[in-house]
Amino acid sequence: MSTADEIDRIPNVRRFETFPKDELQAHVMELTHAAYPHDEIYGGYCSLEEHIDCPPELVYRYLADVRCLAEWTYSLRNFAPVDDDGLFVSYDKIGGKTKIFTKVVANAQAMTVDYHCAWDQGQHLWMIYLMRVIPAQLVLDKPGSVVLWTNCRHPFYDQNPRPELAPPDRKVWVGDLWPFFYGGHHVEMQNLKHIHEHRHKNGLRMGPHPERTPAAETILAGEAAR
Amino acid sequence: MSTADEIDRIPNVRRFETFPKDELQAHVMELTHAAYPHDEIYGGYCSLEEHIDCPPELVYRYLADVRCLAEWTYSLRNFAPVDDDGLFVSYDKIGGKTKIFTKVVANAQAMTVDYHCAWDQGQHLWMIYLMRVIPAQLVLDKPGSVVLWTNCRHPFYDQNPRPELAPPDRKVWVGDLWPFFYGGHHVEMQNLKHIHEHRHKNGLRMGPHPERTPAAETILAGEAAR
């Protein structure tokens, strides 16, 4: 069976040969709206894109260093290594005394940087921040970087699988914030942009600079002492 | 100077220490809307995400084979190699007799697949389709793949840099379609999804199947004969 024969029997496959241009145009017009409800755009996934006027190699290297999260995120602070396998613990100050565990999975060739995270425990890192740096010269015909950032709505956002691990009196669950991920991530993407542009423009070291709060390991010590 | 001192002097950087939680909440509420205008979401970038019930390794391998574009795209057909460096020519039937040149840049570890393309000429591949396959088990707690797809609005979409290369009588420029990229790419993402789910569910070969139209090289022969 040839390609076209087989493919054209698959429901919902729309190709030039069997779905003429005027039908495509009508269909695309139906999909294109003056405005889109929040939930249609940010309900299941949350994707952002930003141009940063700083070379892609520098942005990639910065993102791939987990300690930089203490600079450009709104609330992750006091990073300390948990093991020799790249797992770090820090506080997520948005959740009071909430511990967040983070492991970076990065690929220098593709310039992908993924943060595999979880609140409260480090065994199952299900909150995954998918990022990627693209040379802006290629895609926008100008210097600098394009940063892509996507989160996918893992079911644990809707239900905390380990509520017993929460610090006492914590009222918020990270997934309660899902509807505000676009806004929150926009703030953090702007942080990333402005930190890079400021340092690059002024010839400053890109970072990370050491965290001001000393002895991040006290988080782990606190754990061990329990 | 410590991190916090330096960072907190950079305009538009909003961090926990200097931008308290209630201010963040108010700011994020301002960024969060019931609906977003088309141009705000799809004006500068066009990002789509989709779950496909087929293992990520299969989806990646399929995307990374340039000839598969003849299956899941609406209008790219008759792929033929141009050189030994991975450049292919095909027709983009949406533009009549328009030739499109495509080179795949893929990374198997990161499962990124980028199509570097251009209409009419193959020297400057400025239309770049950035794709990435993610194991859905990691990010959605279910089998299959998540496919991310982003295009960035390169200035050539707004102005064809080489109008003299267009086939005679062509009235459309690829960039005229930018406002409809979301709709058009949605159609193609659905093609990708349904082709994979149909073949995977039924134990069929994933593809690409050979193109029905014989002798794709006639495109090049036509060129050579001019």
pLDDT, position A214: 47
Contact B43/A at CB under 8 A = no
User: How distant, in Å, are the alpha carbons of A4, A25, B96, B104 from that of A16?
Assistant: 11, 11, 11, 22
Asked if B138 and A153 come within 8 Å (Cβ–Cβ), the reply is: no
User: Which residues on chain B are in Cβ contact (under 8 Å) with A18?
Assistant: none
Q: Under a CB-based contact definition with an 8 Å cutoff, are residues B200 and B206 in contact?
A: yes
The confidence band for B56, taking pLDDT boundaries of 50, 70 and 90, is very high
A179 token code pair: 């509807």
The minimum CA-CA distance between A87 and chain B, rounded to whole Å, is 17
Q: Under a CB-based contact definition with an 8 Å cutoff, are residues A97 and A133 in contact?
A: no
Asked if B49 and A49 come within 8 Å (Cβ–Cβ), the reply is: no
Place of tokens 């220098």: A108
The confidence band for B219, taking pLDDT boundaries of 50, 70 and 90, is low
At A212, which amino acid appears? R
Q: Determine what percent of chain B falls in helix, strand and coil, rounding each to the nearest 5.
A: 40, 25, 35
Contact B137/A at CB under 8 A = no
Residue A40: closest C-alpha in chain B:
B35
Contact B226/A at CB under 8 A = no
For B78-92, how does the pLDDT look when each residue is reduced to its tens digit (9 = 90+)? 999 999 999 999 999
HSE of B52, CA atoms in CB hemisphere, 13 A: 32
Question: Given a cut of 60, is residue B1 above it in pLDDT?
Answer: no
The minimum CA-CA distance between A84 and chain B, rounded to whole Å, is 22
**How far from chain centre, in Å, is Cα A103?**
13
> In the 8-state DSSP scheme, what is residue A125?
-
The confidence band for B186, taking pLDDT boundaries of 50, 70 and 90, is very high
User: Which residues on chain A are in Cβ contact (under 8 Å) with B62?
Assistant: none
Distance CA B149, CA B73 (A): 13
pLDDT, position A210: 77
Among A31, A81, A95, CA closest to A216: A81
Asked if A27 and B209 come within 8 Å (Cβ–Cβ), the reply is: no
pLDDT, position B211: 76
Residue to test with chain A: of B40, B63, B74, B156, most A Cβ within 10 A:
B74
Asked if B38 and A38 come within 8 Å (Cβ–Cβ), the reply is: no
Q: What is the mean pLDDT of residues B123-152?
A: 98
A100 token code pair: 């967040």
A134 φ, ψ (degrees, to nearest 5): -125, 140
Contact B150/A at CB under 8 A = yes
CB atoms within 10 A of CB B29: 11
pLDDT, position B68: 95
Place of tokens 């959605």: B140
HSE of B95, CA atoms in CB hemisphere, 13 A: 22
Asked if B71 and A154 come within 8 Å (Cβ–Cβ), the reply is: no
> In the 8-state DSSP scheme, what is residue B220?
H
The minimum CA-CA distance between B119 and chain A, rounded to whole Å, is 15
Q: Which residues pair with B102 in a beta bridge?
A: B88, B117
Residue to test with chain B: of A45, A67, A157, most B Cβ within 10 A:
A45
Distance CA B42, CA A46 (A): 14
Question: Given a cut of 50, is residue B133 above it in pLDDT?
Answer: yes
Asked if B49 and A47 come within 8 Å (Cβ–Cβ), the reply is: yes
Distance CA A89, CA A220 (A): 8
Place of tokens 């239309």: B127
Question: Given a cut of 50, is residue B224 above it in pLDDT?
Answer: no
Q: What is the mean pLDDT of residues B84-105?
A: 95
Distance CA A14, CA B195 (A): 11
HSE of A163, CA atoms in CB hemisphere, 13 A: 9
Distance CA B189, CA B191 (A): 5
pTM (2 decimals)?
Answer: 0.94
Contact B53/A at CB under 8 A = no
Per-residue pLDDT of chain A (226 residues; tens, 9 = 90+): 455 578 989 999 999 999 999 999 999 999 999 999 999 999 999 999 999 999 999 999 999 999 999 999 999 999 999 999 999 999 999 988 999 999 999 999 999 999 999 999 999 999 999 999 999 999 999 999 999 999 999 999 999 999 999 999 999 999 999 999 999 999 999 999 999 999 999 999 998 777 765 444 565 555 544 4
Q: Please report the ipTM that was assigned to this predicted complex.
A: 0.94
Distance CA B187, CA A27 (A): 9
Asked if B187 and A126 come within 8 Å (Cβ–Cβ), the reply is: no
Residue B146: closest C-alpha in chain A:
A152
Tally DSSP H helices, then E strands, for chain B. 8, 8
**How far from chain centre, in Å, is Cα B144?**
20
